[in-house]
């Protein structure tokens, strides 16, 4: 069976678009992880009451980030996207992050920000800086809180535009 991790991301620099796969829908307290061994999505954990994913969360296939996982992506869309959906996203930015792992080692763990190409509500967005500062602060704060629950530390090192997001995909692309 072919793993969805090997689906080409098809990064297009001209349109700043690529493919993404959703692991956890917006508003969900249930975190899922793709399991390449079975080809299914595994229930990973439940977030505490009052905490949920602020956007659809997934990954860019055919990439490997510094933490060993595919590059993470947060997707703006009009409705929550179901688990396992492959979609086209237009990159608008990236939250640069450093995460201290369980073993004490600090690694980069960035979160790309993209807009679903099927979105009506967010189609005008071309750069993360078009989002409000409050919204961007809340996105970064979610990852701080999420990692604290796991005994890890996440530091947001800033938010950059779509060019940096595309460069991260290129640098993390699997051969």
How many domains are there within the chain?
1
- pLDDT one-digit tens code per residue, 4-54: 888 889 999 999 999 999 999 999 999 999 998 999 999 999 999 999 999
Structure-token match 């980069």, residue found: 108
Buried b (16+ CB within 10 A) or exposed e, 94-117: bbbbebbbeeeeeeebbbbbbbbe
- Which is nearest to 135 in space by CA: 81, 34, 55? 55
Residue 62 sits in a domain of what CATH number? Answer: 3.90.80.10
Whether residue 1 contacts residue 32, with contact meaning beta carbons closer than 8 Å, is answered with: no
**3 state SS of 51:** coil
**The domain containing residue 120 runs over which residues?**
4-172
**Residues 152, 99: contact at Cβ < 8 Å?**
yes
What pTM, to 2 d.p., does this model score? 0.95
* Per-position pLDDT tens, the chain of length 175: 568 888 889 999 999 999 999 999 999 999 999 998 999 999 999 999 999 999 999 999 999 998 889 999 999 999 999 999 999 999 999 999 999 877 888 999 999 999 999 999 999 999 999 999 999 999 999 999 999 998 899 999 999 999 999 999 999 986 5
The runs of H, that is alpha helices, within 6-59 are: none
Tokens coding 174: 């699997």
Residue 28, both tokens: 């969900």
């Amino acid at each position: 069976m072919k793993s969805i991790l090997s689906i080409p991301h098809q990064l297009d620099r001209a349109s700043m678009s690529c493919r993404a796969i959703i692991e956890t829908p917006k508003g969900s307290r249930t975190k899922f992880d793709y399991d390449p061994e079975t080809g299914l999505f595994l229930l990973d954990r439940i977030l505490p009451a009052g905490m949920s994913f602020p956007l659809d969360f997934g990954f860019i296939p055919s990439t490997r980030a510094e933490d060993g996982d595919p590059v993470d992506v947060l997707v703006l869309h009009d409705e929550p996207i179901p688990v396992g959906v492959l979609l086209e996203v237009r990159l608008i930015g990236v939250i640069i992050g450093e995460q201290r792992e369980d073993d004490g080692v600090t690694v980069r763990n960035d979160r790309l920000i993209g807009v679903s190409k099927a979105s009506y509500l967010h189609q005008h967005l071309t750069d993360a800086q078009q989002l409000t500062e409050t919204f961007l602060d809340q996105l970064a704060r979610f990852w701080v809180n999420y990692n604290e629950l796991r005994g890890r530390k996440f530091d947001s090192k800033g938010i950059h535009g779509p060019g940096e997001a595309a460069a991260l995909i290129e640098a993390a692309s699997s051969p």
